Chain A
């Protein structure tokens, strides 16, 4: 069974840093592109960052460029999001999502999310 479990969320002050993790199981992690998606309270979904299966490419939304860094460790079946210079508007539930490898991209599995709150 495919499972994605996020961790690392919590309360952080503006300007602070946080590192999110996503533990993957039930599939060959090293063969899938992975993504982070967030959802602010009461708002819609916002794509944050993508990484290729071998870290060959990385891409970020404009709203987080220069502040967030996506990475992965295929040996540990883990995805990460390093978040620096956090702002109040980064407050959201952060989901990790697997990108299907069928040749037509889509997010076929999602974690339950981890809540990040940026507040003084």
Chain B
């Protein structure tokens, strides 16, 4: 099975900061990667799909990049609503594994 490793696990940042989260796959997944945001008690919300495609309605401060085994999610200027946990997810033929999550906290 493909394993997904996110770093860091926790990130402390201030409003206005540029934030980058990394996700590594244990083998190449081309660009079949999505990013989600989750707030406590809520379902995850899709941010990015196909590694770099922004979901409709998601603010443009969110961006994704990468292919193969290394991917990044960047928030260009952190806003108060962005403090949450972020997950990457890979899609290969028969599995859809998530990374362990990155919690973005207020510094």
A residues contacting B by CB (< 8 A) are 35, 37, 44-47, 50, 57, 59, 61-62, 95, 100, 102, 104-108, 110-113
Contacts and interface: CB of A to CB of B under 8 A. Distances in A.
> B interface, by DSSP: helix, strand, loop or mixed?
loop
B44 A105 contact: no
Contacts of A102: 49
A47 B94 contact: no
A75 B53 CA distance: 33
Instruction: Please indicate which of the listed interface residues A35, A106, A107 has the most CB atoms of chain B within 10 Å of its own CB.
Output: A106
B32 A105 contact: yes
B50 A46 contact: no
Size bracket of the B interface: 20 to 34
Nearest to A95: B43
Given A104-B49, A105-B32, A106-B50, A44 B87 contact: yes
Interface string B16-45: 000000000000000110101010000111
A37 B38 CA distance: 13
A45 B98 contact: yes
A104 to B, nearest CB: 4
B65 interface: no
A44 B101 contact: yes
B44 A110 contact: yes
